[in-house]
Every structure is written in structure tokens, then in C-alpha cells.
Amino acid sequence: MEDSNSREIVESEMESMDLRSQESTDQVELESELPPEKEVITDDWRDAINKVVPAVVVLQTTACRSFDTELPSSGSATGFVVDKNRGIILTNRHVVKPGPVVAQAIFVNNEEIPVYPIYRDPVHDFGFFRYDPSAIQFHKYEEIPLAPEAASVGLEIRVIGNDSCEKVSILAGTLARLDRNAPTYRRDGYNDFNTFYMQAASGTKRGSSGSPVIDKQGRAVALNAGGSVSSSSAFYLHLERVVRALAFLQKSKDACKNKWEAVSIPRGTLQVTFLHKGFDETRRLGLPNETEQMVRQVSAPGETGMLVVDSVVPCGPADRQLESGDVLVRVNGEVTTQFLKLEALLDDNVDKEIELQIERGGTSLTVNIVVQDLHSITPDCFLEVSGAVIHCLSYQQARNFCFQCGLVYVSDPGYMLSRAGIPRHAIIKKFANDEISQLEDVISILSKLCRGDRVPLEYISYKDRHRRKVCIKCADVQHDIACTVFLLLCRFKISEEL
């Protein structure tokens, strides 16, 4: 694929060289005779780009520990300033990282400042860094406004960021879809879900994560998140929920005056993954014609399908109530066919009961489910001992592995567990013949071990979930067992003041 692309580029360059050699005498006249509308378009993009580029930063990040879906790593990505006065930078969740991270932002004039995470969404691929605005001494820039309502099919866009680790890259494209299901990246890592993505053939690559997708007015209409390795397709995150989260952060900063404090952003979940499927597929799932007609009539013009249950996390709020293939019709009496409306209802009803009407194989059912606080199943601490990193199983990994949230999960076996043959992603079930149900149980047992103790450890793996494996752990060195606690941004406390 790369060879064919390179050949096409060479051919086009050779053609342009021939054209210049034949018409070199007419070059000045041809340039001066450009259609007026072309000049206007060029000027429009030049103004927008000149306004946006100063607010785009290169983010250099180092993940210090293995945590949740991420391994220890370092790399570069993109972010952009969305609040100049408060010092807030928007980027992707997989850039902010779910665990401990050290990061720096480099502006286009090479001014480098430290940045600190203040929020990463538990599900969707966006997060925020903060910085000290007074630390920028020489650079002039303006924040980039967010305009999710401006996104539409056929909109001409530019993606400005650190594409392929080039400091400023500008990629062109046209929005082709607004209703693509979220892309799948890794079987055992982070994946976004329960949201639509936009799609355009802008050909973004590594390093452009977190880049603003702008229109001719210099507004961010989407957030670049990923792309296809086998084509030029790029995937952008909608900004409606980003705008909501940013408003909470701004309100919290204003209330705390000169420092950042813990930010509470309500997020609700049923621990269910939905997919948007067309009406042809819902009919095959047994959706009655009269229900389809009713949904088409009350939905927005152009509605093409409905939300269908794809998977349910075991022991979650919807376990044994919803099943794969259930077609969602109403939530609290309102016809719901879009992810945005469903998520707004969940976020507004945390710890409350909601009523769902579904169609299951042609039968209409009504179920009542209590909405769970999404932050309550997002790990915010870990135990590190002798190189091993252990914490509660997150919603992301529980969904990937079809396990119950909150189990004791081995994020990194390190020296201690790798010597016993325990792999990454293992779930600890027993330790020293005691049942393990939470992280505190492991800490309690480790604190009682003495040098030379040999204790059995029982675990399971998502690759062989029905077979428990037992190994012998030998405490060959006396360690001071300490729990290294890392508070995530939903309960984030910042030590220094701005």
C-alpha cells in the first residue's frame, strides 16, 4: 500500500514539473487569473489557521506505571487550549492516561510548560490537562472555541496537530459521516463505546491524537481520536459531552478561586454496550412494523436505525434484565434512538431508577434499572509491591474480558508475581487460602507475610476463564508493604496553587 502511494506521488510530481516547463512563461498570468472565489476560500482558511495554530500544543507524556488499559510508555500527541484564562487543554483520554502520568506541553514558539491531568472521561476518548497561564511569557495565542453544532456531512475541515510527530501538520478533509459506531482499537485495551464518531478521509496518523478538527471560522467541530491503518479514514469524537465536562471544570475552578479542587462530573451507566443498527437489522431482530413506524414518525428526519444491546457486563445493574439483541425503544417514556440522548438521561439520573421499554424477539418488555455512578467502578488507587501493580478491575477491562467490575486485577505482574508465573490481566481469586474480593484483602495478607513464607495464590485468566490456576508464592525477601495510592481526576486534589 505504501509503495503504490509513493508511486502515485512521484507521478503527480513529474506531471507538475512538465506543466511548469511548458508554461513557465505564463505562470505569472495564470496565478493572477485565479477565480475570485478561490482567492476568498484560500484567505478564509489562512485566517482560521493563523488563529488556531498558536493554540495547538505538542504533548509529551510519560506513563509512569502500568494501570488499567495502559502500559508504561512515553510518546507525543496533540492538544489545544480551550480556556486561556483558566489554563485548560483538551486532548484524548488515551493521551491523558487513566493512571499516573508526567506531561509537558510545547507551544509553537517552543515554550515548554508542565501540564497536569484534571479529568479523563471513564468511557469516552477525551480528557483535560491544566497549566499555569502565567508561565507563558512570550507566546500570544487565543483559545479555540468548541462548536459541536457546526458539524455536518459535507463540511470541509482541517486537522491541525502533531501528525507523524511533525510539530505542525495541516490535513484536509470533508466530513462524510456523523453516525459511525465507535472504532475498536484493542481486544485487551481501551475502546470507546456508546457514542457516535465522525469519519473523514484525512489520513491522520500517530501523533495527531487530540488534534482539533476545525472549520473555516476557526472553531473546533470535533476531536481527532484515531484512524484506520489500512485506509485514509480518520475518526473524530463528537464534542457535546466535552462541552458539558468543560463547563463543570470551569465552574469548579471559579468556585475555588486560585486553586483547583476535586471536580464532580455526574456520569451514569447501566454497564451495557449499545450499538446503533439500521432498521433492516432491527427487523431481523424481531422489531414489529408498527413499532418501527412509530419510531420513524417521532424521531428526527433522516433517522436510520435504533439502539441495540451488544453486551452486558456480568453482575452489573442490567445483568439478567437486558440481553444481547434487545432493541431499545423508550427510556422513561421517551423514544430514544441516539447515544447522546441516552447518555444525557443516564447522567441526569445517577443512583435513580429508570424505565426501559425494549423489544426482544418481537415481544415488548419493560424493565426498571437503577443507574450506577460510573466513577464508582473506575479504579482510583493501586497497590505496588516488588514491581507488581494490582488494582480493582475497571469497567473498561470488565467489558473487554466479560468479568464483574471490581475484581482484583493484575495490571503488571512485576518481579513478585512474574516469578510465580502469573501473567498480566490475571484475576486473583485466592491468596494464602483466603478468598480475595477486594484490594484491601491482598494488602492485609501481604502485611502478614514473613521472609521465607510459601503461600498458594489462585487466579484465573480471561483467556481460560473456566479453569482456576494455582501457584506458590515465596516471600523470599522481607518487604515493607505499602500501598501507593493514586487519586484519579474525578477525586483529584492538587497540592500546588496556581
Model pLDDT for residues 40-77, shown as the tens digit of each residue: 445 679 999 999 999 999 999 999 899 999 999 999 99
Strands of 234-237's sheet in order across: 169-174, 156-161, 212-214, 220-227, 234-237, 196-200, 177-181
Q: 66, 83, 94, 411: which is the annotated catalytic residue? A: 94
pLDDT at 393: 96
Please give the C-alpha separations between residue 244 and each of 52, 267, 377, in angstroms, as whole numbers: 22, 11, 21
Model pLDDT for residues 131-184, shown as the tens digit of each residue: 999 999 999 999 999 999 999 999 999 999 998 888 889 999 999 999 999 998
- Backbone φ and ψ for 401, nearest 5 degrees, come out as -100, -5
pLDDT at 253: 86
pLDDT at 429: 94
Class of domain 271-370: mainly beta
The pLDDT of residue 323 is above 80: yes
What does the pLDDT average to over 265-287? Answer: 96
Q: 83, 121, 125, 326: which is the annotated catalytic residue? A: 125
Instruction: Specify whether 209 is catalytic.
Output: no
Instruction: Specify whether 376 is catalytic.
Output: no
Long-range CB contact pairs, 43-50, < 8 A, 24+: 44/216, 45/158, 45/216, 47/218, 48/158, 48/214, 48/215, 48/216, 48/217, 48/218, 49/158, 49/160, 49/170, 49/218
Instruction: Specify whether 125 is catalytic.
Output: yes
Model pLDDT for residues 244-258, shown as the tens digit of each residue: 999 999 998 888 777
Burial of 186 (0-12, 13-18, 19+ CB in 10 A): exposed
Q: Tally Cβ neighbours within 10 Å of residue 173.
A: 22
Q: Which residue has the cell 470488565?
A: 398
Query: Distance (Å, rounded) from C-alpha 191 to C-alpha 302?
Result: 28
Please give the C-alpha separations between residue 236 and each of 173, 195, 399, 482, in angstroms, as whole numbers: 12, 11, 22, 41
Class of domain 382-482: mainly beta
Higher pLDDT, 229 or 54: 54
What does the pLDDT average to over 275-291? Answer: 95
- Backbone φ and ψ for 255, nearest 5 degrees, come out as -70, -30
The pLDDT of residue 11 is above 70: no
Model pLDDT for residues 486-495, shown as the tens digit of each residue: 433 333 333 3
- Residue 170: name the closest of 199, 147, 140, 204 by CA: 204
Whether 271-370 shares its CATH topology with 382-482 is answered: yes
pLDDT at 233: 92
In one-letter notation, the amino acid at residue 42 is T
Q: Where are the domains of the chain?
A: 1-33, 36-260, 271-370, 382-482
Q: 66, 169, 202, 208: which is the annotated catalytic residue? A: 208
CATH code of the domain made up of 36-260? 2.40.10.120
Query: Distance (Å, rounded) from C-alpha 96 to C-alpha 103?
Result: 9
pLDDT at 41: 45
pLDDT at 487: 37
What does the pLDDT average to over 362-374? Answer: 96
| Weakest-pLDDT range from 76-85, 174-183, 226-235, 275-284 | 226-235
- Residue 240: name the closest of 344, 382, 396 by CA: 344
